[in-house]
Amino acid sequence: MLAFLARSVVYGVLVAAVLLIAIPSLRNAQLLPEATLATFETNNSLISYNYAVRRASPAVVNIYTRRYSAENRLQLNAEGLGSGVIMSDKGYIVTNYHVVARADQIIVALQDGRISTAQLVGKDQRTDLAVLKIELENLPVIPFNDSYEPNVGDVVLAIGNPYNLGQTTTFGIISATGRPGMSFNRQQDFLQTDAAINKGNSGGALVNSRGELVGINTASFQQATDVDTYGISFAIPYSLTLRVMQKLIADGRVIRGYIGVEGREVNPVMARLLDAEQLRGVLIASMEPSGPAATSGLQVNDLIIAINDKPISSFRNALDIVADTRPGTKVPFKVIRGGQPIDVIVTIGEEKLQ
């Protein structure tokens, strides 16, 4: 009997050793992913996002705007308020277009107590973004992570200056991605969040649980009715913010390519009707008679399958490639016309904001 028990104990120990070697996480129940470590504190077993707030909040500034009085051109009156995000130690700050669009003077207040007037570098109504510059040293910069992809359910924090109460952080998740049509650009994709974004939060930072920039807060959803709406707010994604900022710094405005077509995405049924084996692409539904596409030889009912050797998966994808191409550039378009693939060289035009 004792021999049987001894063998059982030995076998049990051996099995436990094998499991510990095969599954390392069993060796330490406290091991957590890096993202979880950033938000977990063993203080009465509470979860805290203090780490993320401490990383990001110093780079979120308060913005105050003033305008000259219509009666007295020497008198500056308070115009509005918003928030901004320090994107570079050279003093570049991103905010919303609507925060500074009417400003004659822009004042930036940092969280460390410093105050500075700001120069407007450029603004873009289409994306509701603007870039400012201040001349101060030792500036805190918002943390970035170029490999981060926002996903529905990710925890996010909105940092800004709502109603001029002082810097405030609200909490939520990413409720949806790729929301179009919420601003001046009907093709622009927004991040939707339930983190509260109120007046004064515009231009502030939306960050993840590591304090890394996810987007620029821009608006809360408001219906044209008496029904109150809560928990629906929008932010401009970091990737788009960075592209627009770089263009504004380089040119003072965003120069967008344009070809003057309206299109619709192709499904398998449409592909068969067009006698095309290609199941992905954009069908040209209409075009401006004197636009770049028409003058370059594209036709209605052409199926665009590639632009500059890049496969086209959606109309939005096609617009993005064209918009990022410098006007005047000659770009090869691969299209299916009458069931046959052909190449058309299109000279990209410049989009004019209406």
149 contact partners, CB below 8 Å, separation of at least 6: none
CA nearest 245: which of 57, 62, 87? 87
List, as one string, the DSSP characters of 187-225.
T--EEEE-S---TTTTT-EEE-TTS-EEEEEEEE---SS
CA nearest 95: which of 65, 137, 116, 69? 65
Work out the burial of residue 36: count CB atoms within 10 Å of its CB; fewer than 13 is exposed, 13-18 middle, 19 or more buried: exposed
244 contact partners, CB below 8 Å, separation of at least 6: 124, 127, 129, 254
CB 158 within 8 A of CB 172: yes
User: Is residue 84 marked as binding?
Assistant: no
Structure tokens that stand for 50 in this block: 């203090």
Q: Residue 310 belongs to what H/E stretch?
A: strand 310-311
Which residues are known catalytic residues? Answer: 98, 128, 202
User: Is residue 259 marked as binding?
Assistant: yes
User: Is residue 263 marked as binding?
Assistant: yes
CB 83 within 8 A of CB 207: no
Q: Which residues are annotated as a binding site for substrate?
A: 259-264
Q: Which residues are annotated as a binding site?
A: 259-264
